[in-house]
A = this chain, B = another copy of it.
């Protein structure tokens, strides 16, 4: 019964998304293996988190690829990005919280590349005249993550229907709250 890393990672992500403080023991049990075996797969807790991070980065990268950020107008690309990113939202939220902890520790460079791609999308929208330019693309990127996280949480808490999520996030992010004539 070869228990592959992939399986363990998936279970770990699912568990940690719910209980960010889950112990190695809980994680091992969730993955159906013993603590010792978990340690054979991942040198330690840190290593596991790092692996999860790599995994999350990869998933987010795939979501971006799937969204086709460079195609069509920026607003449409953003909508697609929101849709493809949604499934990863939980893990992302966990990893962000976790990253806060590595106070001094340098953050995985992978994030920077992903951030850059999103930032680039916002910049393109600004250059093409679709997006306002008084909000920095760096802030928009941060806000994007914030709303994705808030959305995942709202669904989890039953405050927003899963089917409404894309519209809720995209609608707010693109158009804001205020009612306006042309929309």
Contact = CB atoms under 8 A, between A and B. Distances in A.
A173 B146 CA distance: 12
A178 B178 CA distance: 12
Given A131-B177, A178-B75, A181-B181, A172 B140 contact: yes
Contacts of A182: 180-182
A101 interface: yes
Pick the most buried of A103, A122, A172, A182: most chain B CB atoms within 10 A of its CB: A172
Majority SS of interface residues in chain A?
helix
Contacts of A154: 138-139, 142
**Copies, count:** 4
A143 interface: yes
A23 interface: no
Contacts of A175: 132, 175-176, 178
Given A130-B179, A142-B160, 16 more contacts: A75-B177, A97-B97, A122-B177, A129-B179, A132-B175, A134-B167, A134-B171, A135-B177, A139-B164, A139-B168, A142-B153, A146-B150, A172-B173, A175-B175, A176-B177, A181-B181
